[in-house]
């Protein structure tokens, strides 16, 4: 099957990608300590300091193309300039953006009528830094009525592909901007699910954008995997079932997640999961139809990327048949479950090029003995194997009723899926929290930072992102740190 997919005059996968696999994929060093690649489009992730290294400078052109597009995807996502209307949508504070109304404006205006609990940014005070990335940071904030929320802050100057090079009168074309707007749209649409972080609104100033989210004191699943190693199968079963419930909900609402990984899974104070960070998500107006929910952009985290996304780098730009569907999320679920049970992703290799080659080869194997209290069951192995199929049509979860086939797999036994979706099962593991402000489950590299306003370069273009409420000029986030 792999030879057919890569048929190119007898060329092998290594030849096409320019990879020389020198071999040792079973390094003990990998099993002892594993880092993580941060490829979140928005650049905000509360990740461990031990992050995976960037792509090697000796990579072939095709691999460089894969890695170059791994984060940002297509540059023609939202079609900003297609509208001819001069009508503006007013925001709550009376201000309105200068750009023309688009389809995205209309959807967001309707979504804003949902029952999202909005929080006045003037009533916030900073408590701690939770994470930091290339574009900004995530902070723990306290409201005037003594509640805690998480606020993602992104600098607009970092959203431009080439900061400072655009003309002031021309809106810059940037995939980072498009994905920031898409994340806001998705959060307006789906944050009512019990296993997705609640959304409390978004706003912007001249130089920054902000997203207000639910605070989950249990921290990232990635941090717990690093500290505790492998998980018991019963614990993995509940985590996996809750993620399945979220993916089914997203797909039913026409949303492809595309960035499932432990860093984007949070735990609440009771031990239930919360899916967060929708910076790479794509929303379609054809809900649940896998034949119409198709993408062509290359994005994701290399350890979790599906083979059909890698193959996109070798196809012609005018090949309309070269697309992928929502089964990339089911592939990522299989990789995540394997990592929870065996600590290392199934195709992981320290060399990025070799790892991509192993994903394309798709030769799944299981260690003879897992580093856990009990042996991994055959049902768990069967479930992982069904998710990690090379051809998306053979993969468990494919098709319009794919989630039903996922939930009916013997691995889940007699789970009540209504109770799973409502977070009514009692988790095996409950995070240890001394109080509601305890941030010990987050990386101490960030939580020990001194609270202060970050210096930023002013945004050369007066950029107003669609869907973000524009605050008055007299607002200054510096008062958060007083």
Q: Which positions are catalytic?
A: 259
Q: Residue 464 corresponds to which tokens in the numbers above?
A: 């107003």
Contact of 367 with 317, CB cutoff 8 Å = no
Instruction: Give SS3 for 107.
Output: helix
**Phi, psi angle pair for 411, to nearest 5°:** -60, -35
158 token code pair = 């970092």
Sorted by sequence, the CB contacts under 8 Å of residue 309 that are 6+ apart come out as 298, 299, 300, 324, 328
| Spatial distance between the Cα atoms of 359 and 162, rounded to a whole number of angstroms | 32
Query: Side-chain half-sphere of 110: how many Cα atoms within 13 Å?
Result: 7
Nearest to 422 by CA among 84, 194, 214, 266: 194
292: left (phi over 0), alpha (psi -120 to 50) or beta: alpha
Work out the number of other CB atoms within 10 angstroms of the CB of residue 64: 17
Tokens coding 255: 């949303």
Q: How far apart are CA 53 and CA 447, in angstroms?
A: 23
Exposed/middle/buried for residue 269 (C-beta within 10 Å: 0-12, 13-18, 19+):
middle
β-strand pairing of 469-470 with 199-204: parallel
DSSP 3-state assignment of 396?
coil
Half-sphere exposure of 206 (CA within 13 A, CB side): 12
Q: What DSSP state is assigned to residue 154?
A: E
Structure tokens at 240: 């996996």
- Which residues does 66 contact at the CB level (< 8 Å), separation at least 6? 298, 310, 313, 356
**46 and 131 Cβ atoms separated by less than 8 Å:** yes
State how far the Cα of 144 lies from the Cα of 122, in Å rounded to an integer: 9
Q: Give the SS3 label for residue 314.
A: helix
CA atoms within 13 A on the CB side of 288: 9
- Write the DSSP symbol of residue 482: -
Q: 38 and 135 in contact (C-beta within 8 Å)?
A: no
């Amino acid at each position: 099957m792999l030879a057919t997919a890569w048929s190119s005059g007898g060329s092998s996968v290594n030849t096409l990608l320019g990879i020389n696999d020198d071999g040792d994929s079973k390094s003990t060093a990998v099993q002892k300590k594993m880092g993580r690649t941060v490829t979140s489009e928005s650049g905000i992730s509360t990740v461990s300091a031990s992050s995976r290294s960037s792509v090697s400078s000796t990579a072939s052109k095709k691999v460089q193309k894969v890695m170059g597009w791994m984060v940002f995807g297509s540059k023609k996502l939202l079609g900003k300039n297609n509208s001819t209307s001069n009508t503006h949508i007013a925001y709550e504070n009376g201000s309105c953006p200068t750009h023309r109304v688009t389809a995205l404006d209309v959807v967001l205006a309707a979504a804003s009528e949902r029952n999202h609990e909005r929080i006045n940014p003037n009533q916030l005070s900073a408590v701690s830094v939770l994470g930091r990335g290339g574009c900004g940071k995530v902070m723990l904030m306290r409201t005037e009525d003594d509640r805690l929320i998480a606020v993602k802050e992104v600098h607009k100057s970092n959203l431009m592909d080439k900061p400072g090079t655009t003309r002031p009168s021309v809106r810059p074309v940037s995939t980072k901007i498009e994905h920031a707007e898409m994340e806001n749209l998705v959060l307006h649409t789906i944050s009512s699910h019990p296993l997705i972080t609640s959304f409390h609104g978004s706003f912007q100033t001249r130089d920054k954008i902000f997203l207000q989210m639910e605070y989950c004191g249990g921290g990232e699943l990635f941090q717990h995997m690093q500290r505790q190693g492998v998980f018991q199968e019963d614990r993995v079963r509940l985590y996996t079932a809750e993620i399945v419930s979220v993916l089914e909900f997203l797909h039913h609402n026409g949303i492809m997640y595309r960035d499932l990984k432990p860093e984007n899974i949070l735990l609440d104070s009771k031990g239930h999961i919360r899916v967060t960070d929708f910076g790479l998500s794509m929303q379609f107006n054809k809900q649940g139809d896998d034949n119409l929910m198709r993408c062509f952009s290359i994005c994701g985290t290399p350890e979790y990327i599906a083979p059909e996304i890698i193959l996109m780098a070798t196809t012609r730009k005018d090949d309309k048949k070269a697309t992928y569907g929502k089964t990339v999320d089911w592939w990522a679920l299989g990789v995540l479950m394997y990592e929870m049970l065996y600590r290392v992703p199934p195709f992981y290799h320290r060399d990025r090029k070799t790892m991509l080659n192993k994903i394309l080869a798709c030769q799944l194997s299981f260690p003879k003995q897992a580093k856990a209290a009990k042996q991994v069951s055959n049902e768990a192995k069967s479930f992982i194997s069904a998710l990690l199929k090379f051809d998306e049509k053979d993969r468990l979860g494919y098709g319009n009723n794919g989630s039903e086939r996922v939930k009916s797999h013997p691995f889940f036994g007699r789970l009540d899926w209504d109770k799973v979706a409502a977070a009514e099962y009692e988790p095996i593991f409950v995070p240890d929290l001394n109080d509601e402000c305890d941030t010990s489950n987050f990386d101490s590299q960030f939580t020990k930072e001194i609270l202060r306003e970050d210096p930023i370069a002013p945004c050369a273009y007066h950029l107003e992102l669609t869907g973000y409420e524009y605050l008055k000029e007299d607002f200054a986030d510096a008062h958060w740190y007083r």
